[in-house]
Structure 1
């Protein structure tokens, strides 16, 4: 039987892009070809050569620098390109800069004949994922953003530290915007299968403080080392692995809402099932009244920002 070849196109060879490429090659054996596209082609070529050196210990993947035209037969196009957040900036401060960059990426990929799945991690990710779908005209299920997958990982880390349990025992999600209007779905969170609120002796102030710690974590990392990239790179690799291996994985991602949670015509961070078709299903939790109010606030903020985007 002839094995289907899997090809991934990566656009953006900065810290997130290169970390994603390294993580992807260690995460799955399903990538036969990885093509790196960057304005700095010399850097992309050097990174490809550097990554080639791990293939004898991982898998025999063809890795090279390329062009947008290489997307024509790719399964996945991963977009990490854009202006990174600086200390003191919010993700929304980047919106018009990165929206303009996005349009110069998505259009030539579509023009190449690409029929795969877009996966976006550039910030503000919910806005740029929504715009990727609109610019490309692709079915909504074939455009995915990393959404609150990174925020949720941070929440799990913080809860594990506070409860002194292995992080693998925590199952908790951040929902809404990947940014300041996000919120923790504490009512739905579990510890080793038990409801968090039955296990943890936290006050309302404790819960609010944990939510704030999640929101501040990225800024604290940026203040100390200039950027965050390992966490989101691993989330990206996990999403792409789910697509290539048809794994039916549930993750909190930027997913298209069409009435779920009372939100429409917008990508926002919610749990969703991913496989080789893209987004198979949005998981709609029965949120508390307070959580529903926070979701509506996050959606309203994103729509406000979208209305002001200049492409």
Structure 2
């Protein structure tokens, strides 16, 4: 599918929103990007800065606007909200962002009733569930960035350990985009071999300690980056671009987006990052991949963490 006619709106012109706009502008996936922010000057400044480089990319229009200007968007990306601060977990952001979403989601729905809503703001699983409830959209058209970035971090760290191309590492991080996420070691494969088999033909150690250290680094990566530079935005922008690409190109790609579970893995009525087939209409199918008994248990525990937050928030 060509970029002709594809319109993407980004709600929120902060670090993540503006970097996402840049990633999408250079991707050639869309012909129009609209940026909306409560700080109109910030949105206009970002649009002007991006527009100055239009002669270097495929034809595209980048503008700042009001919600009315997002009318008939194919995808609306929500990055607005209160960001995670040093020392906070993603779940700590919930109360303030709940109020924000109750304001912005109805406006999005009013002007783009046939769009796909892609939620990125944290805590992403909870806010995707909130967006689903407020919007009234079918669940396939409300998705979150989930653990797409976490999975990329996992692949990157494994590629460093084994000194191979990260694209040749096949695995998932599943569950909450946060502290209860799980690494699916039982599904991790390289060159058609599971990770333990691959260890037998390489010179790298593959102890339980190595697995624990890599998982901990994946889980804590965002907190470390936030502590060092204040925010994370480059890698998540690339993850968003990847999800948008799968949607607009109708790829039917398997990505660990945050999807509404309806009994898969014994879990219902919660959004979590799980392997899902993503195409032009959003989530086409959730895949019930075979996990180890321990991983299944941890995934269920992750869902309980998210459910408890929803119950406490009285969503």
Give the TM-score normalised by structure 1: 0.96
**Structure 2 residue 160 is matched with structure 1 residue 161:** yes
1:12 and 1:79 in contact (8 A); partners too: yes
Cα distance change of structure 1 residues 252 and 3 upon mapping to structure 2, 3 Å threshold:
closer
How many residues align? The count is: 309
Q: CA deviation at 1:3?
A: 8.4
Cα distance change of structure 1 residues 307 and 195 upon mapping to structure 2, 3 Å threshold:
same
1:272 and 1:281 in contact (8 A); partners too: yes
| Aligned with 1:284 (options 288, 293, 296) | 288
1:72 and 1:115 in contact (8 A); partners too: no
What residue in structure 2 maps to residue 41 of structure 1?
40
Give 1:104-143 correspondences, 5 Å limit: 104-143=103-142
| Aligned with 1:272 (options 270, 276, 289) | 276
Q: Distance in 1 between matches of 2:38 and 2:59?
A: 26
Give 1:90-109 correspondences, 5 Å limit: 90-109=89-108
Q: CA deviation at 1:209?
A: 2.0
Deviations 1:54-93 (A, max 9, x none): 2211111111111112233110100000111111110000
Q: CA deviation at 1:187?
A: 0.6
**Structure 2 residue 255 is matched with structure 1 residue 251:** yes
What residue in structure 1 maps to residue 59 of structure 2?
60
Give the TM-score normalised by structure 2: 0.95
What residue in structure 2 maps to residue 224 of structure 1?
228
Give 1:181-260 correspondences, 5 Å limit: 181-200=180-199, 201-260=205-264
2:9 and 2:70 in contact (8 A); partners too: yes
Cα distance change of structure 1 residues 246 and 272 upon mapping to structure 2, 3 Å threshold:
same
- Name the SS for the 2:270 alignment partner: strand
- Name the SS for the 1:88 alignment partner: coil
Q: Distance in 1 between matches of 2:144 and 2:298?
A: 20
Deviations 1:217-257 (A, max 9, x none): 11111111111111111111111122112121211110111
2:256 and 2:274 in contact (8 A); partners too: yes
Which 10-residue stretch deviates more, 83-92 or 244-253? 244-253
Q: Distance in 1 between matches of 2:34 and 2:113?
A: 14
Which 10-residue stretch deviates more, 13-22 or 203-212? 203-212
Q: CA deviation at 1:192?
A: 2.6
Q: Distance in 2 between matches of 1:257 and 1:168?
A: 28
Q: Distance in 1 between matches of 2:53 and 2:196?
A: 45
Q: Distance in 1 between matches of 2:37 and 2:135?
A: 20
Q: Distance in 1 between matches of 2:69 and 2:265?
A: 38
Q: CA deviation at 1:26?
A: 1.6
Q: Distance in 1 between matches of 2:45 and 2:170?
A: 39
Considering only aligned residues, what root-mean-square deviation do their CA atoms show, in Å? Answer: 1.5
Which 10-residue stretch deviates more, 237-246 or 266-275? 237-246
Q: Distance in 2 between matches of 1:221 and 1:23?
A: 20
Q: CA deviation at 1:19?
A: 0.6
1:96 and 1:310 in contact (8 A); partners too: no
Q: CA deviation at 1:111?
A: 2.0
1:187 and 1:197 in contact (8 A); partners too: no
Structure 2, unaligned stretches of length 5 or more? 200-204
Deviations 1:94-135 (A, max 9, x none): 011111111111011112253110001000000000110000
Q: CA deviation at 1:208?
A: 1.9
Which 10-residue stretch deviates more, 192-201 or 167-176? 192-201
Q: Distance in 2 between matches of 1:3 and 1:178?
A: 30
Cα distance change of structure 1 residues 147 and 3 upon mapping to structure 2, 3 Å threshold:
closer
Which 10-residue stretch deviates more, 200-209 or 222-231? 200-209
2:125 and 2:272 in contact (8 A); partners too: yes
